[in-house]
Structure 1
Amino acid sequence: MLRRFPEILVLCLLATAGALVFVKNDDPAGPPAAEQAGATSVHELGPKPDPDDPHTWQTSDQVPGEIAPPVEPGQRALISRTKRLDYSPAPGVTITGWDARTPRGPVRYFVTRVKWRTPGISVDVAHGTRTRRVQPVPDMLSSTPGVIAGTNGDFYDISDTGAPLGIGRDRNGLLLNALDSGWNNAISQNTEGKWHVGELPMVAEVVGHPEIDVTNYNSARVKVDGTGIYDWRFGRSAGWGWTDLQTRNVRWVRVVDHEVVATGTTLPNRTRIQGTLIVARGALPSRRLAELTVGSTVRVRRHLDGEVRMALTGNSLLLKKRQPTVSDDGEMHPRTAVGVDRDTKEIIILVVDGRQTFSRGYTMLELANMMKRLGAEDALNLDGGGSTTLAAQKRGHLKVINTPSDGFLRSVPNGLVVSYNP
């Protein structure tokens, strides 16, 4: 069940072990103005998210975050900052880490820049052998030849199916999961190599039956008054988890070799999916699906709108044409974001630690403003909280670079992976 910075030189004067240290700052000139605040200690927690409204979600775990102190007009955004690391694990890829002191509290963040035109460099969707399979980020990334770095990806049904909430399509042409609308803000690349951040719908149908509105493919849940299609790539069936425990006005049809072989009203649970399982949720969708009787010929089609090479969703657009599209400056959480800088031809991945004494995390507005300072024109919020993980090659090994807030590596269903295969 679904529960749920152009780069310049800045001298930062730091007091470190009694010595004055000057640090070259080749990242943006400090955190965004949204970090300005009048307090360093915060105890108030944010409201509990509405499980029926994914757009209120901050993270998949839905843990309420500390409320950021209010911004005081004219207050300095940055007290000091020091560089933790700066290296290039492969041609066209740089990873930089920072510790910043701000009026709102300390922040630790990591910036990965990927020049996508570098020969041999690829950015793709990382995933397991099944849509609903979850695993730690390093394990998931390790199956990619030439893996250089990667992060967690989409929000997901953390308490039940484990399946991601939106869209996933890898460069091999495999559509892992999708839906027609609702959770469709994605970073994608088309077959011409152009990057896009914005809405990306699925187009699906039961051929010859336009009255059947297909809303989901291998999704964590079937939409209310919608119809979902599932196959073996999803993993084992999820039963009433697909319908948020709704048991009335539900119907399923099993299609094998384009023929209906079985139908029923009790959803199969923890069984292997043979052929295609079509699941209707709601009175009208159930009645329409009932017209597909045993022996009927059925063909199902589904694809993403446009010539899409790869795609991965998050929940909220952070930037569009360098303008912030979020206004939430309330809850602070660990964050993961991805953006596109078309001037420098870079994919920018930002990982912010949070929920820890050394790093308070970011609000959504701070995240958007930081992505803007880093140079992104368009940016997308990925899952955060305990899911936020950055792993990268270092000294010949794939290592976790940040400090996940759970104290251990959370298992997630998908992510972004950067690889280099010259």
Structure 2
Amino acid sequence: MAGRHRRYAAGRAVLAVLTALGALAGAAQAEAAPAAASHKRVRVAPGVTYEEFDIKAAKGVAHAHVLKVDLGNPQVRVDLLYPGAVASRAQVSRMADAQGAVAGVNGDFFNISEAQHPGVEATGASVGPAVAAGQALKAAVPNGQRFGPALPPDATTEDVFGVGSDGRARLDRLALDGSIRTADVELPLGGLNQYALPVGSVGAFTSAWGSASRVRATCGTDTDRAAPCSTDTHEVTVRDGKVVSAAGTPGSGAIDAWTTVLVGREAGAQQLRKLATGDAVEVEHRLVAATSGTAYRLALGGYPVLTGGKPLPGLDDTASAVRTAVGIAEDGRRVLLLALDGAAAYRSGLTIAEVASAMRRLGSDDAFSLDGGGSSTLVARKAGASAVSVLNHPSGGAERAVPNGIGVFSGS
């Protein structure tokens, strides 16, 4: 996506200016409620505030940047930040400005590299499901194909943070429910705009995917991301309900509206080879909520760390890193977006167990871990500004391009 343009010094200057204005909160230890550092805060927009504070952790002091978002305010909403295509990346600041957000953080883990598959390019697509403005963009890759730290016990790539059509935030799971119907057979749909398809399946790629190569979708297995790419693949292009072309290997390039490209591997490829030009094909797909039954207007992947005020069992308490997380409070009417600072003095960060504890002390009943490390980014508009500024120090020294994020919007 977009190029990297913000440097460590620039982020440092942003915080220095805010501090000089007396708008930033003082330091507070995690042992005391972070609210103790909330006497001074920045009002970003109606229903949106920003604050920062120190957290004393096992491996040093971490510095937290937090956005508090009141979804009960009729002027406030959150939605997915993304660069207009699933298989693409951009900096959070650029996505926020392009979509008119007043603040935001980075989102899901993503297909960042392909060192195990020579000649195959990383797609930049996210791991989990994604829903923007009520539209399902993609489904989740198999658990064994995810990028990022190991999942906690019982977590899956289908886990999402979302905001429903009722305007309330919640944690849920979104599973793909889809089918491919021809005159002779009905097949289950194994994927939607995913960088990795289950072994033996057929996946659908739409215009939402973008122009990246679809070869990566046939690499690895359900349990081993580094396994070789499949040698048994087939691709069929369906336009206006009829097959218009076929190829022995997945292709690339933008996909037109009213067009679906079906990619099959192994048994899925064998089924696609039975189709001929002109054959009628009907493809249907939707994302189904596992617990709430609600329709989501925003959803993105990661994994839960806190539910019902209690940390999930088995959370890692040894590996510390810079983190991003989202919390839910007040029965889904308040959202807390946290990104740690990646400056050298704070880079020891937090363990996932410490993230859960910090989010609970901030008042979250549920919390969800997003991508961290060099991806951790929090942006917000300063008073009178028309564009957002990066308020934390990205640990790589500049903003990383990421596939999506959570954007905060405020206004009529």
TM-score, normalised relative to structure 1:
0.76
User: Residue 338 of structure 1 aligns with which residue?
Assistant: 326
Residue aligning to 1:233: 208
SS of match in other structure, 1:201: strand
Letter in structure 2 aligned against 1:255: V
TM-score relative to the length of structure 2:
0.78
Judging by fraction of residues, say which structure has more strand: 1
2:135 paired with 1:174:
yes
Deviation readout 1:56-107 (Å, 9 max, x if unpaired):
xxxxxxxxxxxxxxxxxxxxx99xx977972111121111101344452121
Alpha-carbon separation, structure 2, partners of 1:365 and 1:322: 13
Out of 391, 396, 408, which is 1:418 matched to? 408
> What's the offset of the Cα at 1:26?
9.9
Matched, 1:125 2:80: yes
Maintained 8 Å contact 1:212/1:289: no
Among 123, 133, 140, the alignment partner of 1:161 is: 123
Q: 1:376: which partner in 2? A: 364
Please name the residue that 2:21 is paired with. none
Determine the structure 2 residue equivalent to 1:365: 353
Which structure ranks higher in relative contact order (CA pairs < 8 Å, sequence separation ≥ 6)?
2
Summarize deviations over 1:217-267 as a string: whole Å, max 9, x none: 111222222221102221114142222262412111110111011222222
Which residue number corresponds to residue 199 of structure 1? 173
2:344 to 353, 356, 364: 356
Q: Determine helix, strand or coil for the equivalent of 2:171.
A: strand
Is the contact between residue 42 and residue 49 of structure 2 (CA under 8 Å) also seen in structure 1?
A: yes
Q: Does 1:97 align with 2:52?
A: yes
User: Percent of aligned pairs with the same residue?
Assistant: 29
Aligned pair count? Answer: 348
Measured at CA, do residues 321 and 351 of structure 1 come closer, stay the same or move farther in structure 2, by a change above 3 Å? Answer: same
What is residue 254 of structure 2 aligned with on the other side?
A: 272
Aligned CA distance change for structure 1 residues 345 and 129 (closer, same or farther; 3 Å): closer
Q: Matched residue of 1:411: which SS?
A: coil
Q: What's the secondary structure of 1:277's corresponding residue?
A: strand
One-letter identity of the residue aligned with 1:154: D
2:113 aligned with 1:139, yes or no? Answer: no
Per the TM alignment, residue 117 of structure 1 is displaced from its structure 2 partner at its CA by 0.9
Q: For the Cα contact (< 8 Å) 2:25–2:52, is it kept in 1?
A: no
Asked whether 1:295 is paired with 2:278, we answer yes
**1:308-359 residue CA offsets vs partner (Å, 9 max, x unmatched):** 2323333321111111114201211111111210258311111112472234
Aligned mates of 1:392, 1:84 — CA distance in 2: 19
Which sections of structure 2, spanning at least 5 residues, go unmatched?
Answer: 1-23, 114-121, 144-156, 220-227
Within the candidate set 396, 401, 405, 1:406 is matched to: 396
Equivalent residue of 1:241, what SS? helix
The structure with the larger Rg is: 1
Counterpart residue number, 2:30: 31
**Is 1:317 matched with 2:297?**
no
Q: CA deviation at 1:203?
A: 1.5
**For 1:103 and 1:199, how far apart are their aligned partners in 2?**
32
Alignment of 1:285 with 2:268, yes or no, is: yes
Instruction: Please list the CA deviations of residues 94-135 of structure 1 after superposition, one character each: whole Å capped at 9, or x if unmatched.
Output: 111013444521211112111101021011111112111211
